[in-house]
């Protein structure tokens, strides 16, 4: 234990960096456990769509949507989701799988949808990039 304290004193910058990294990791895990939505892989999202009639929600900007999106996906850009959530009310009792380019922005959409009473809500892990990497179909129509 004495060596640990000595190391911390002699290398306080490294020790501080370690404390920050550990705190960030713990914070991330706590946030992951507290959120109600969960992440799904492209294969799981496909199963949700086929077996539970899940709604795919594309929250990317219109240009990205036009370049290719998941078949039958509803398109509501993240910046408009707050004021356009009423358009999705009819899907409130169905699973909703939100996605963006990489899965980061769609997490915000999932949190917003949960606040509005949508259940269950899922985030497509890796976004449309993971979908394409899994060689699943996209459309430009």
Residue 134 structure tokens: 């899994």
Percent of the chain with pLDDT over 70: 95
Which residues are annotated as catalytic?
Answer: 100
* Collapsed DSSP state (helix, strand, coil) of residue 67: coil
- Asked whether the predicted pLDDT for residue 74 surpasses 90, the reply is yes
pLDDT tens digits, 19-29 = 899 888 887 67
pTM over 0.85: no
Distance CA 8, CA 2 (A): 10
């Amino acid at each position: 234990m004495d060596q640990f304290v000595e190391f911390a004193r002699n290398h306080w910058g490294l020790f501080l960096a370690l404390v920050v990294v550990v705190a960030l990791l713990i914070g991330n895990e706590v946030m992951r456990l507290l959120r109600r939505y969960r992440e799904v892989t492209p294969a799981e999202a496909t199963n949700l769509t086929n077996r539970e009639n899940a709604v795919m929600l594309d929250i990317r900007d219109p240009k990205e949507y036009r370049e290719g999106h998941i078949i039958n996906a509803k398109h509501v850009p993240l910046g408009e989701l707050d004021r356009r959530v009423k358009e999705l009310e009819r899907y409130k009792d169905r699973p909703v799988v939100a996605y963006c380019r990489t899965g980061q922005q769609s997490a915000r959409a999932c949190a917003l949808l949960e606040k509005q009473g949508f259940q269950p809500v899922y985030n497509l892990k890796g976004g449309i990039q993971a979908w394409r990497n899994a060689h699943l179909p996209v459309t430009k129509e």
